[in-house]
Structure 1
Amino acid sequence: MNDRLVAALTACAPRLPVGVAFSGGADSMALLAIAARHWPGQVHALHVNHGLQQAAEDFERHCAKACERWRVPLHVEHANARHAPGDSPEEAARHARYRSLAALATANGLGAVLLAQHADDQVETLLLALSRGAGLPGMAAMPARFERHGVLFLRPWLDVPGVDLRAWLASEGLRAIEDPTNNDIRYTRNRIRHGVVPALAAAFPQYRETFARSARHAAQAQELLAEVAAQDLAAMQGEPRIGGLQALSRARQANVLRHWLAIRHAARASTAQMDELLDQVACCTTRGHDVRLRVGDGFVQRQDDRLAWSPSV
């Protein structure tokens, strides 16, 4: 096996047994094959069938054959990834995928789920965030480890170029299935992959390393802001209080409110929503001043001396 790939896999040190998110594509094929050889009998394949394209059943059959050949248990979840009008189909599919992977991992007693994103995916994620005017959380791109739905997810290959994975597959004679949507330039990520990244490679050959370093700097800065926000929220007894907010700078108010919305309510405010909310907080000079603003998928409103959030019904 490729020493670099194995070393990166070992370094993430998951609790065994472990699951591998297995789509049947080249990246997850390499991850599952190497993990199964490195931890024999301790690896499970987790496949999410979104049912969003005609080839979905072919993907599932391909995964089943590969797992049968490698004697790896395969667990399949048929997810509902349909998006509501106005919502991003990519975002809806991603949320459905994580819910399904977490459910499969929990049901089978797995210590973690390995994801096959690599250095090229990290670059695309950073460029996609920049194209949308993202702040530090977006610029931090994908973390190497995170928890979602009570399950630990690990990305062991974020420093590994995708070409290395494909070279290893070719050397082993392994055939991966190709997702036809990967070439659909209606999706922003694919336009970045096929148009922007080749230009970057020509102009800045070390772009993978330098972009990854920038993402790590952004992640460190975001960790510091999260610590400050947690301290500010604790000083207000765990709830954003009007007087406590007004004693902070506007930037620090935005920081603690974003933290509160994300941690307590899994809600995210747009820049325009946050600006309006901060303006309303500044105007709260009397007890009679009301606040009710849409933020994320719900509303922030004033309750006595504090702010509260409630989901839309």
Structure 2
Amino acid sequence: MAASPNPCGPALAGWCGRHLQNPQQVAVAYSAGADSTALLLAAHERWPGRVMAIHIHHGLHAAADAFENLALDLCARLGVPIRVCRVDARHAPGQSPEDAARRARYHALAATAREQGADAVLLGQHADDQAETVLLALSRGAGLPGLAGMAERFERDGVLFGRPLREMASQTLRDWLLHDGHPFVDDPTNADARYTRNRIRAVLTPAWQACFPGYREALARSARHAAQAQSLLDELAESDLALTGNPPVIAAVQALSRARQANVLRLWLRRCAGTAPSEVQLDELLDQIDACRTRGHGLRIRVAAGLVVRDADRLRYDRPI
């Protein structure tokens, strides 16, 4: 059977034209699953001799060693260098297993990319992942940052990450791999109904597909609109933070509308605390700021692990000791 063109090729070319013109070395986050396998093959075809693979071994299930062996075998056949990173993905009390695994994975990818001098790390997340992300955000009552879904590019720990397959359907990748005989694995944890994303994949998305066959494209369009709106809010917050000062002067914050107060305080807390307040915390903070009309009026509210307090005429974020 004649080999067919890798469907990832045009998507990868388009992403690179926007974000990565002439890299010296590119890393691919290669799990040995279908999406990352198709992406690794496309990257190797586009940049022969300038691609490396990073395989994250989470150690969360018995099949992890088999995934590593398949990854090592394909990279050996392609002549692609590979680094295997074993991470501790156990979750802390109160932390979701998915979040713990994701944080450990990105930390290892960024550290390895910096060590190897890679210009970027490419991720195999696709249109189905984007749709699930938006549905998950909707189920949690998320604001614009959540509804914007997965960004096409982002930076973490000083490393550029990219999602060139963000608008490609998963089935397109799998059909091509099966047609051309490229081996890949299916992660058994994807069928574990304890994880919210897996329940969305198993129950909600088939219903959306049955009722709205173009739901992936529609959700992706909504995510783009949300991302654009959030970008405008970020620009306004930057302008308002320059006016209120950093840390913000309470009287200057009070001079803004309540919506702009919320917007600028989200930016300030993201900068100084690396966190976002809950809706309840932010409403309470705004109420307390509004009440600060006399010199002796105090202010103290917990946000994430720290406290927002009044410091003379300004706000201050106190981190836990």
Matched with 2:15 is 12
Query: Is 1:225 aligned to residue 228 of structure 2?
Result: no
Sort the Cα spacing of 1:287 and 1:76 in 2 relative to 1 into closer, same or farther, 3 A. farther
Name the CA distance, whole Å, in 2 between partners of 1:28 and 1:125. Answer: 18
Distance 1:11 1:251 in 2: 37
User: Which residue of structure 2 lines up, in the alignment, with residue 183 of structure 1?
Assistant: 191
Distance 1:310 1:64, change over 3 A: farther
Please name the residue that 1:297 is paired with. 305
- In 1, are the aligned partners of 2:272 and 2:317 still within 8 Å (CA)? no
Residue aligning to 1:167: 175
Q: Alpha-carbon deviations, 1:272-299, whole Å to 9, x = none?
A: 1111111111111122222222212322
Cα distance in 1 for residues equivalent to 2:68 and 2:299: 50
In structure 2, the partner of 1:262 is: 270
For the pair 1:250 / 2:254, whether they are aligned, the reply is no
Q: Where does 1:14-33 land on structure 2 (aligned, <5 Å)?
A: 14=20, 15-33=23-41
Q: Show the counterpart of 1:235.
A: 243
Return the offset for 1:311.
Answer: 2.5
Aligned length: 313
Whether contact under 8 Å (1:22, 1:29) holds in the other structure is: yes
C-alpha distance in 2 between matches for 1:183 and 1:48 = 20
TM-score scaled by length of structure 2: 0.94
Give ranges in structure 2 of 5+ residues lacking alignment.
Answer: none
**Are 1:153 and 2:172 counterparts?**
no
% identical equivalent positions = 55
RMSD of the TM alignment (CA)? Answer: 1.3
1:2 to 2, 5, 13: 5
Equivalent-residue separation in structure 1 for 2:319 and 2:271 (angstroms)? 15
| Cα deviation, residue 310, structure 1 | 2.8
1:83-122 → structure 2 map (5 Å cutoff) = 83-122=91-130
**In structure 2, what residue type is equivalent to 1:2?**
P
| C-alpha displacement of 1:41 | 0.7
Structure 2 letter corresponding to 1:29: T
Q: Which moved more, 1:102-111 or 1:287-296?
A: 287-296
Aligned residue in 2 for 1:286? 294
* 3-state SS in 1 of match to 2:141: coil
Gapped runs of 5+ residues in structure 1? none
The whole-number CA distance in structure 2 between the counterparts of 1:196 and 1:175 is 29
Partner amino acid, structure 1, of 2:159? V
Could you tell me which of 81, 84, 88 is aligned with 1:76? 84
Would you say the 8 A contact 1:243–1:305 is kept in 2?
yes
Aligned partner letter, 2:10: A
Residues 7, 176 of structure 2: 8 Å contact kept: no
> Which stretch of structure 1 is more off in the superposition, 104-113 or 90-99?
90-99
Cα distance change, pair 90–3 in 1 and its aligned pair in 2 (3 A) = closer
Letter in 2 for 1:8: A
Change (3 A) 1:310 1:54: farther
In the alignment, which of 118, 135, 149 is matched to residue 127 of structure 1? 135
Q: Distance in 1 between matches of 2:231 and 2:248?
A: 20
Whole-Å Cα distance in 1 between the matches of residues 300 and 180 of structure 2? Answer: 60
1:44-68, Cα deviation, whole Å (9 max, x unpaired): 1011122222322222222111211
Q: Deviations over 1:115-153 (max 9, x none)?
A: 001111100000000000000000000000011100000
Alignment partners' CA distance in 2, 1:2 and 1:225? 41
How far is the alpha carbon of 1:175 from its aligned partner?
1.5
Q: Equivalents in 2 of 1:287, 1:55: separation in Å?
A: 63
Tell me if the contact between 2:25 and 2:119 (Cα under 8 Å) persists in the aligned partners. Answer: yes
* Alignment check: 8 A CA contact 1:267 1:297 kept: no
- The answer on whether the counterparts of 2:145 and 2:230 sit within 8 Å (CA) in structure 1 is yes
- What SS does the corresponding residue of 1:181 show, helix, strand or coil? helix
